A and B are shown apart, each in its own frame.
Chain A
């Protein structure tokens, strides 16, 4: 419903002089005139057509830019997995972790290294290595011959340092390690082998 006074319409149509209006209607007339001026004012910026054409003419963005844009844009990702497969995957992951945790071996300290002892004793029933690393106490470090080829081995974690040692075959026969690079007289008429254990973490 139009609530504008008809005299304002007459003034706008030129049928009535503005001086014929009372003061309150003159104020309303000024407001209506200002609104009309805004409606007829030109729209700032380019026209719709020019904006569309500018978008059409713009060169296509590069592949990398499109990938980056895709990566930066949120996407909804939906998995459809049967519960039995989820459980199987979880079980496999747990088994994998347990396997490697069990086989990880000893954690070596900064001042620890690994000594490998190897000897060929084809007819031996047991071979132990004794030396300054175990107070020359027989029976504490046994060598193994798992494939029964006569080659006995032991891999031992020791503090870094220089050690003298010998093999004890069948609990009674003392034999130096002939594969050792170093030998030193033992002051008892025989020779000890010498191993230098270097730190694993270098």
Chain B
């Protein structure tokens, strides 16, 4: 942990330089130092900084005025703090993983009730929980009851499904609704299928052949 803190301190100036270079010319000039200072605060608090940079770049690309960009970045920083606090409250030992903080912040943005996220974090103590959170958020976005959705996904994890396969559980439930079942019925049907929910088809050869890489892909 000490080593990590030392490395973070050593890397901070480099990060600051690279953040400024990424922002310059992409957002209004007067917003650059403010956004940069917010990024430094995030780094100092052990929070992921990339979501803040992405939010600023998004605002700049969308021609949003500087003050609104700063407000959005500040709001994102608040969401990351809320996510970290929620993870710690649910039982994660600080420092929490950046990926988990980003995932939980994203779930809160998708209007998942904090109590539901907290329940998932508490019942799935081993990260990564991203796919589980995404699967629940998908169901809630389609008007499933948050507690029922969380219960289904937690059951799927206990039945041995992991990572991206959890997304297949939510997809299966949504398909059942499309076939005319109620949401409660869909959850019951899919729970009976566990862990044998259908997997998505692999991309066809033609799809892979057509695929191309962007010039400069940047993972979030």
Please list the residues of chain A having a beta carbon within 8 angstroms of any beta carbon in chain B: 103-106, 108, 114, 116, 130, 132-138, 140-141, 155-159, 161-164, 174, 181-188, 190, 192, 196, 198-200, 202
Contact = CB atoms under 8 A, between A and B. Distances in A.
Contacts of B55: 187
B158 to A, nearest CB: 21
B211 A155 contact: yes
Given A135-B22, A161-B220, 18 more contacts: A103-B209, A106-B213, A114-B208, A134-B217, A135-B216, A136-B62, A137-B61, A138-B61, A140-B214, A155-B212, A156-B212, A164-B58, A185-B109, A188-B64, A199-B164, A200-B203, A200-B208, A202-B199
B138 interface: yes
Interface in B43-101: 54-55, 57-62, 64, 68, 71-72, 75-76
B217 A188 contact: no
Interface in B86-120: 103, 106, 109-110
7 contacts: A133-B214, A136-B54, A156-B212, A156-B214, A159-B219, A188-B62, A199-B164
Contacts of A136: 54, 57-58, 60-62
Taking residues whose C-beta sits less than 8 angstroms from the other chain, chain B's interface range is 35 or more
Contacts of B134: 162, 196
A158 B199 CA distance: 20
B38 interface: no
B218 interface: yes
Given A114-B207, A182-B138, A188 B59 contact: yes
A162 B130 contact: yes
Contacts of A137: 57, 61, 216
B189 to A, nearest CB: 20
A155 B207 contact: yes
B217 A133 contact: yes
B215 interface: yes
A161 B110 CA distance: 17
B210 interface: yes
Contact of B213 (A130, A156, A185): A156
A130 B220 CA distance: 13
B138 A141 contact: no
Interface string B163-198: 010010000000000000000000000000000000
A135 B57 contact: yes
Contact of B58 (A105, A186, A200): A186
Contact of A184 (B109, B130, B211): B109
B202 interface: yes
Nearest to A108: B208
A187 B62 CA distance: 12
A187 B214 contact: no
Contacts of B208: 105-106, 108, 114, 200
